[in-house]
């Protein structure tokens, strides 16, 4: 028995807690209790459902038994100390971990009830449905226009110039970039500022009509003004998409998300309404992190 050993015991879900009320009454906390998930990991209108997810890099386990839903038109922020597994978990959702040698994902992960890791799943259309925006803006070495038109072309969404023009304009408008680039669509995407490049990458993700957008620290390379633009955009995008965002900024999590998930040593420790997490966290580890006592 211990009160603060962090790397032992296994996370359990809210359902497991309900099955074992006796454990709740114990005064002294067991290791398993310290690391169990508290709050609201599940939701009724889940777009993405993850159950008992374990991820390994070779022999090393990076994610331990995480269960979490992400609802339609919801922004879920994932926070936690460096190395706690936020990006690893995020990458499970569109199988980006498949590209990492030695990485193995276990568990039930579904998108609209369909298995993400099913044997017949083609990752190319999956990644169009579940788009991703990375930490560092990574426009293709192509024109602004072609950065956005490329996806719709290769996914067969549009081929005629007029259709592509419409998708490019709409995507750039929704990403809040159209007015800044409409007169230089033929110029290289790499010639834009960092904040503009990140909005271009968001336009590129939107252009293939995704249902979910995963964002891995999308503002970490941006100044406060560009960050504010992206945050406004996330709020607007929520009307049409499901969004999961990894961020090191607790202010950002508080501004953009409806629920916040706190990870610690590869375990999901707490997930709850964002306001609750930041004003009245249930778990002592969450409280220690958000008050700056570690991380």
Ligand X SMILES: Nc1ncnc2c1ncn2[C@@H]1O[C@H](COP(=O)(O)OP(=O)(O)OP(=O)(O)O)[C@@H](O)[C@H]1O
Give the interface segment with ligand X, choosing from 84-92, 115-123, 124-132, 219-227 (CB under 6 A). Answer: 84-92
CB of 222 to ligand X, least distance (A): 16
Burial group, residue 151, by CB count within 10 angstroms (0-12, 13-18, 19+): buried
Binding mask 172-191 for ligand X (x = CB under 6 A): --------------------
Cβ of residue 295: shortest distance to ligand X, in angstroms?
Answer: 9
Q: How far is the CB of 264 from ligand X (least distance, A)?
A: 10
CB 171 within 8 A of CB 165: no
Distance of closest approach, residue 200 Cβ to ligand X, in angstroms: 23
Q: Which of 254, 223, 188, 239 is nearest to 74 (CA)?
A: 239
Can you spell out the DSSP letters for 49-85? EEEEEEEEETTEEEEEEEEEEEETT-EEEEE-STTSS
* Stretch of residues binding ligand X (CB under 6 A), selected from 23-31, 86-94, 250-258, 274-282: 86-94
State how far the alpha carbon of 227 is from the alpha carbons of 117, 191, 251, in Å: 33, 19, 11
**Tokens 């709850």 found at:** 272
C-beta closer to ligand X: residue 25 or 82: 82
Tell me how far apart the alpha carbons of residues 140 and 146 are, in angstroms, rounded to a whole number: 8
Distance between CA 36 and CA 66 in Å, rounded? Answer: 10
User: What is the nearest approach in angstroms of ligand X to the Cβ of residue 84?
Assistant: 4
40-69: which residues touch ligand X (CB under 6 A)? Answer: 57, 62
Judged by CB under 6 A, the stretch of 37-45, 83-91, 125-133, 269-277 that binds ligand X is: 83-91
Site string for ligand X, 93-132 (x = CB under 6 A): -------x--------------------------------
Name the one range near ligand X by CB under 6 A: 22-30, 76-84, 150-158, 166-174.
76-84
How many CB atoms sit inside 10 A of residue 100's CB?
A: 12
Using CA atoms, how far apart are residues 215 and 35, in angstroms rounded to an integer? Answer: 26
Range in contact with ligand X (rule: CB under 6 A) among 80-88, 125-133, 136-144, 168-176:
80-88
Please give the structure tokens belonging to residue 52: 């008992």
Residues in the chain: 295
82 binding ligand X? (CB under 6 A):
yes
x-or-dash string of contact with ligand X, 270-289, rule CB under 6 A: --------------------
**What is the β-pairing status of strands 212-216 and 130-133?**
parallel
Answer for which of 11, 68, 84, 215 binds ligand X (CB under 6 A) is: 84
Among 65, 87, 198, 274, binds ligand X (CB under 6 A): 87
The tokens describing 43, both together, are 């939701």
Site residues (vs ligand X, CB under 6 A): 57, 62, 80, 82-88, 100
């Amino acid at each position: 028995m211990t009160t603060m050993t962090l790397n032992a015991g296994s996370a359990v879900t809210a359902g497991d807690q309900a099955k074992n009320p006796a454990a709740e009454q114990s005064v002294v906390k067991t290791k398993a209790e310290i690391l169990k998930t508290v709050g609201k990991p599940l939701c009724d209108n889940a777009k993405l459902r993850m159950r008992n997810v374990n991820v390994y890099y070779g022999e090393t386990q990076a994610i331990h038994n995480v269960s979490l839903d992400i609802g339609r038109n919801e922004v879920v922020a994932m926070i936690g100390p460096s190395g706690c597994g936020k990006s690893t978990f995020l990458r499970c959702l569109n199988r980006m971990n498949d590209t990492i040698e030695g990485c193995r994902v276990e568990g039930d992960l579904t998108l609209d009830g369909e298995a993400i890791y099913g044997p017949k799943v083609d990752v190319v259309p999956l990644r169009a449905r579940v788009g991703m925006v990375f930490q560092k803006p990574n426009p293709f070495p192509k024109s602004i226009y072609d950065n956005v038109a490329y996806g719709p072309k290769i996914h067969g969404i549009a081929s005629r110039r007029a259709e592509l023009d419409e998708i490019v304009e709409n995507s750039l408008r929704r990403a809040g970039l159209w007015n800044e680039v409409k007169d230089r669509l033929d110029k290289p995407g790499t010639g834009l500022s960092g904040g503009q490049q990140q909005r271009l990458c968001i336009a590129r993700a939107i252009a293939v009509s995704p249902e979910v957008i995963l964002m891995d620290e999308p503002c970490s390379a941006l100044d406060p003004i560009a960050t504010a633009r992206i945050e406004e955009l996330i709020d607007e995008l929520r009307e049409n998409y499901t969004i999961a965002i990894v961020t090191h900024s607790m202010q950002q999590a508080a501004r953009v998300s409806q629920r916040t998930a706190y990870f610690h040593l590869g375990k999901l420790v707490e997930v709850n309404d964002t306001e609750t997490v930041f004003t009245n966290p249930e778990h002592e580890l969450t409280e220690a992190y958000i008050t700056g006592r570690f991380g």
